[in-house]
Structure 1
Amino acid sequence: MAHYSVRSCTWWWFVGLSTLLHVLNNARFTTGQMCAFQDAAALLEFKAGFIDKAGYFSNWNGSTDCCSWQGVTCALGRVVELRINAFFTPGFPIRDTGYAGHFGATLGDLTALQRLKIENVRFNAEIPQSLGKLLNLEHLKLRGAGLLGTIPECLCNLTKIKILDLTENAISVTLPPCASAWKEITAIRLAANQLSGVIPKVLANLSTLMELDIAENGLVGVIPSNFRELQKLEVLSFSGNALSSYIPSTLTEIKSLRIVALDRNRFTGGISSWWYRLENLTDLRLNDNELSGPMFLPEWTEAFAPLRTLYLQNNKFCGSIPETLGNFQGTLTIDLSNNEFTGTIPESLGNNTYGTLILSDNQLSGGFPLSLTRLQTVRINRNNLDELTAIGSVPTDGFNVISELGLGENRLAGPWPTWITELVNLTSLDISSNNISMDLSGTNITGSIPIALEILKTLDYSLNASHNPLNIPIPCGDDFVANVGILDLTETGLTGTLESCFFRSFPLVSSLYLGENQLGGELPSDMPALLNPTTNILDLSNNRFVGRVPRFSELEFLMYLDLLGNSFQFGPL
């Protein structure tokens, strides 16, 4: 009997194990491994409207689990995310993933959907009413989808929505008043649409909003003063609209702001009382407006150090550049170009280590502060700088990092400055259209290299010294090699002939400007072979060259060739 009892227990143990495995196997199908029938049917009907030459939906078929389909994510057997991007398939143009069906007819049946992200598919239709049935939707992204018309009120049903991204469509009306129902929304992106009218005041009711981007539209009027209620807002972008009047000082009450982009509008007035009070501000873009007046910064500005981008170009700011602008230490891009600033350049701007400073097209005078060599890029073209003698000295603490220097079209006069040769990391130099001179006629270039040419040894991108009376002989010497790629010596008083050694001195030049000089003699017959094979620009105009023209047709990439104003004998090119 005992033996029988053991066999009986073993049998019942086996039955119990089989039952448990059967239950677990069934549980697998009810906890997310298999797609719900209604979701699969809705997706297949949605797919039927696509023009899918790229094969994006190749694995969307009724014989497979829809949870395994490309762009589909499931949870507990229900579709919770749908992602479609026409750019996912390389080699196929966007027209090969279009849509010819009725957009959104069945998307509303995906009632568990939390994230809907469709990009670069041109539906050319209005936002479907069926989306209002997606009550669990948290992220709606229909970017570059060819959407027309308005934002329908049915979207106000989406009370769980956190991110609304309708960028790059043709929507013409902004948010409906019922949008105040979005109690959890953090980001609204409506850039690059056809929105018009004023900024809707309902936006100020969205207290959870952290990002608002309505750039590149046709909004007019002012920024509502009740925007001060958006105390969690970090990103505010109205770039490229037609907003006007003053920038409201109430923005200073939004302490969380990190990025403020109000560029390319019609704002007037000054900015002397608000922006430096935003202690978290990293990016301020107010360029291309009608702002005016002086630029004021208090002494305590250094307390707000996170600023990294300051764009104020193309306005009407005047007066001197404040010394305290140098208190924003770190890597900072400052563009104050095309304004009406006067006075000298503050040395304190050199505190902006490794940064970029653009001051072109103002009325600045004086000399060049060598503290600015701590920056990587400095452009001060088209001002009234009139002192070649530098201010201060080149940093010796390892921060002499400047690689691009633009001083063209100023009033600089006198001999070539020695301090330029101390800029050991310089790769691009523009000193064009000044009155910098160096009379070295008769100098043997193969001996001591003139200081004006010594700088070429460090440049590996470009030199524009055009329209200066340098009066130097053409550089030619096997002991002189420069890696510059763009060389512009137009109207600099160059003399002599173009010998083969000149091209060995500049082996990497692809754009060569030698026009308006006093070069003469015959060109080397093998000049096309001596030039960089990628040469695309060659200007030898208005010199004194004679003889036959070499076969420049051998230069495959040559796009511009100017030989006018010489005495060439033209044969086959």
Structure 2
Amino acid sequence: MSQVFDSSLTQKGDELELLLSFKSSINDPLGFLFNWNSSTPLCLWHGITCNNCSKVKVIELIEKNISGTISSLIFHLTEIEKINLSNNDLSSEIPCDLASSMSLRYLNLRKIPTQIGVCSNLKELNLGANYLVGTIPSTISNISNLQILTLAFNKLIGQIPRALNKIKSLDHFDLGSDNLNGEIPSSFGNLSNLQHVFLFSNKLTGLLPKSIFGLKTLVELDLSYNHLFGEISKLLNELQSLETLHLFNNHFIDKIPNALASLPRLQQVDLSSNNLTGEIPSLICNISSIKVLDLVYNNLSGIIPPCLGNFSKILLALDLRINRFHGTILETFGEDCGLRNVNFNGNKLEGSLARCLPNCRNLEMMDIGNNMINGTFPYWLNSLSKLQVLVLQSNKLCGVLQSSKTIHSFPKLQILDLTNNEFTGPLPKDIIKNMKAMMNLNEQQSSLQYMHQRYYLYYVNLAVKGIYIELPYILTTFTCIYLSNNNFHGKIPRVIGKLSSLIGLNLSHNSLSGHVPTSMGNLTDMEWLDLSSNKLTEQIPNELKDLTFLAFLNLSHNQLTRPIPQGKQFSTFENSSYEGNLALCCFPLSKSCYNDGRKRSSPSFLKEVNDSETKINFSWKVVIMGYRCGLIFGVVAGYVTFRNGEPKWYVTLFQVKHHQIGRKYSRN
């Protein structure tokens, strides 16, 4: 649909007619613009905001499923400051009349207009998350007053235009999550007002330009998920205003810069997934403002500096997993510890868990898995009333899990992983029944949320449906218990059926016995269940058929008997879920069952028996006849002998045998 410009409308300044012309050029299938008519006051129209003089100031029609062309007339609204038509299906280019809108300060559309450079009054250009393709037009550099440029979360390709260094007023530059390549232009150092630079998740290569680290006004720098390399040690000294430094998932080969300690406002440091080596310098403890320190997936070694515990009052997240740190866990967390996330997974730490950890009363996640920690279960962690995730897998912990003296132990715990240790004794019945966060959790949650802090998401490695994966986003409704590969014995407690919000349960590779409790049928949110490699007996409860979300089941290598429940989710599981249970029968196994549950012999076995029966029938008759004759003779002879007194051979034989047995037991 084309739009013919009527100059008389602009001469009259009739905003009503201008907007009705805009409406006539687009399709509105949802009817959002139903009150755009002459009988409704203009300032009450949907998506319209007026200023104090009742002049149209803002047009905001985000995600309204409107399509068609954009009328040039809306750019002749005399006092328009903001137009936001993002996430729609408007297909035309922005007309040249865009230049006539002298008051326009903010523009958010779906496509980058070819004439964008003529709108010299724009201060904010936001075209993010609009599936834009192609390259970034260098004409944007003609918008000399631009302060905020957002082209993130699109499909833009090519290099960052060097001409952008002309926009001296630019303070917010966001090209994150596109497909840009090439190097970061060194001319960016000329943008002396830059405060926020986001170039994450692109394909940028090369060395970091030193000019960027000369930007004294820089507050946030995020260059993560690129292919940048080189040293960073000598580039940070000038960034006195820097608060956030994200350089993770690149190819930097360096040591942790001592220069970090000279940045007085630094709050977040994420240098993970690079090739950093050496030790953590003790100077890093001089950063009194730091809240997040993330050094994951590097080649760092040495001990964890004890001084890190000294400023834990401000530090919220300390993530050092997948490195080569050794020694013991910090014993320096004081009473004022503010840590919420401690993650030391995948190092070579040894000794026992630090008794000072309960000083971190706000701790929500603790992951010390895949180390060499020894000792017994840290029952004193029960005092951490906010703890949601506790991972101690693959260590050398041992002993019996004793009941805690705390009345409500682990009230918020949602993930417990004690896999691959040396725990023994029965499953901790009292600990399980106090896990209130695993009971009716869905009723407590009004919407889906993730475990996180303001500055940081929680990461954890877990076996989900039989496969180990890293979970970067942990739902607050995610609940699971892992106690596999230990030495637990005894029965599975019925109380486990009270954990109605449990999603995953793994008790495999223990010595558990008895039957599978029918109370497990109450775990209606269960998605994976692994009880394999135990000594469980009796029949699989029919109540498990009610677990309609169950996608992974492993009951293999037990001593289960009788028919496998049929129907619902059980029709989706294969032989591997039941192998190693010799007395199980029915689908999906090839063994069928009688109606009373007795195992029916297979056809091949029956045929073999029938074929051989005729061959041995006569032999059995001879044996039975001889047995009957011998039995009668033996009874008569015995009666006669004992009636006339004990025979000497019997007395002698019995006394010698009795004497030998007595010596054996006395010797033992």
- Please indicate the TM-score interval, normalised by the length of the shorter structure: 0.7 to 0.9
In the TM superposition, what are the counterparts of 1:2-401 in structure 2 within 5 Å?
Answer: 58=68, 60-65=70-75, 67=77, 70-71=84-85, 77-85=102-110, 105-121=114-130, 124-298=133-307, 301-325=309-333, 329-330=337-338, 332-350=340-358, 351-353=360-362, 355-373=364-382, 374=384, 375-389=387-401, 393-396=404-407, 400-401=411-412
In the TM superposition, what are the counterparts of 1:386-425 in structure 2 within 5 Å?
Answer: 386-389=398-401, 393-396=404-407, 400-417=411-428, 420-421=431-432, 423-425=434-436
Q: Does structure 1 retain, via aligned residues, the 8 Å contact 2:207–2:228?
A: yes
The one-letter code sitting in structure 2 at the alignment partner of 1:487 is L
Q: Does structure 2 retain, via aligned residues, the 8 Å contact 1:456–1:484?
A: no
Q: 1:215 to 1:28 in 2, by over 3 A?
A: farther
Q: Indicate the SS of the match to 2:342.
A: strand
Cα distance between partner residues in 1 of 2:392 and 2:591: 33
Q: Does structure 1 retain, via aligned residues, the 8 Å contact 2:404–2:431?
A: no
Q: Indicate the SS of the match to 2:400.
A: coil
**How big is the shift at 1:475?**
2.5
Q: Indicate the SS of the match to 2:216.
A: coil
Cα distance between partner residues in 2 of 1:483 and 1:179: 56
Matched, 1:544 2:582: yes
Q: 1:258 to 1:535 in 2, by over 3 A?
A: farther
Deviations 1:438-471 (A, max 9, x none): 2xxxxxxxxxxx5634334336313211111112
Q: 1:215 to 1:502 in 2, by over 3 A?
A: closer
Q: Does structure 1 retain, via aligned residues, the 8 Å contact 2:208–2:228?
A: yes
Q: Does structure 2 retain, via aligned residues, the 8 Å contact 1:543–1:565?
A: no
**How big is the shift at 1:344?**
1.2
Matched, 1:474 2:543: no
The one-letter code sitting in structure 1 at the alignment partner of 2:205 is S
**How big is the shift at 1:290?**
0.8
Q: Indicate the SS of the match to 1:170.
A: coil
Question: Which residue does the alignment assign to 1:20?
Answer: none
The one-letter code sitting in structure 1 at the alignment partner of 2:581 is N
1:432 to 472, 481, 484: 484
Cα distance between partner residues in 2 of 1:75 and 1:64: 10
Q: Unaligned 5+ residue runs, structure 2?
A: 1-8, 20-63, 87-97, 439-479, 594-598, 604-668
Q: 1:71 to 1:457 in 2, by over 3 A?
A: closer
Q: Does structure 2 retain, via aligned residues, the 8 Å contact 1:520–1:546?
A: yes
Deviations 1:533-555 (A, max 9, x none): 99999922221345543xxxxxx
Cα distance between partner residues in 2 of 1:360 and 1:28: 73
**How big is the shift at 1:368?**
1.5
Q: Does structure 1 retain, via aligned residues, the 8 Å contact 2:409–2:435?
A: no
Q: What TM-score do you get using the length of structure 1 for normalisation?
A: 0.74
Q: Indicate the SS of the match to 1:119.
A: coil
**How big is the shift at 1:57?**
5.8
How many matched pairs? 483
Q: Indicate the SS of the match to 1:338.
A: coil
Cα distance between partner residues in 1 of 2:396 and 2:76: 69
**How big is the shift at 1:62?**
3.4
The one-letter code sitting in structure 2 at the alignment partner of 1:474 is V
Q: Does structure 1 retain, via aligned residues, the 8 Å contact 2:401–2:425?
A: no
Question: Which residue does the alignment assign to 1:519?
Answer: 560
Q: Does structure 2 retain, via aligned residues, the 8 Å contact 1:245–1:267?
A: yes
Deviations 1:15-54 (A, max 9, x none): xxxxxxxxxx9999599x999xxxxxxxxxxxxxxxxxx9
Cα distance between partner residues in 2 of 1:148 and 1:502: 52
Q: Does structure 2 retain, via aligned residues, the 8 Å contact 1:353–1:399?
A: no
Q: Indicate the SS of the match to 1:405.
A: strand
Q: Does structure 1 retain, via aligned residues, the 8 Å contact 2:183–2:207?
A: no
Cα distance between partner residues in 2 of 1:71 and 1:369: 56
Q: Does structure 1 retain, via aligned residues, the 8 Å contact 2:419–2:482?
A: yes
1:528 to 553, 567, 584: 567
Q: 1:329 to 1:566 in 2, by over 3 A?
A: farther
2:493 to 449, 452, 465: 452
Q: What TM-score do you get using the length of structure 2 for normalisation?
A: 0.64
The one-letter code sitting in structure 2 at the alignment partner of 1:465 is L
Question: Which residue does the alignment assign to 1:11?
Answer: none
**How big is the shift at 1:230?**
0.8
Cα distance between partner residues in 2 of 1:244 and 1:344: 33
Cα distance between partner residues in 1 of 2:250 and 2:522: 51
The one-letter code sitting in structure 1 at the alignment partner of 2:413 is I
Q: Which moved more, 1:115-124 or 1:228-237?
A: 115-124
Deviations 1:297-352 (A, max 9, x none): 238x4544232222211111111111224767346122211111111112332334
Q: Indicate the SS of the match to 2:496.
A: helix
**How big is the shift at 1:499?**
4.9
Question: Which residue does the alignment assign to 2:441?
Answer: none
**How big is the shift at 1:513?**
2.5
In the TM superposition, what are the counterparts of 1:497-512 in structure 2 within 5 Å?
Answer: 497-500=539-542, 511-512=552-553
Q: Indicate the SS of the match to 2:254.
A: strand
Cα distance between partner residues in 2 of 1:537 and 1:355: 40
Q: Indicate the SS of the match to 1:292.
A: strand
Q: Which moved more, 1:369-378 or 1:506-515?
A: 506-515
Q: Does structure 2 retain, via aligned residues, the 8 Å contact 1:487–1:512?
A: yes
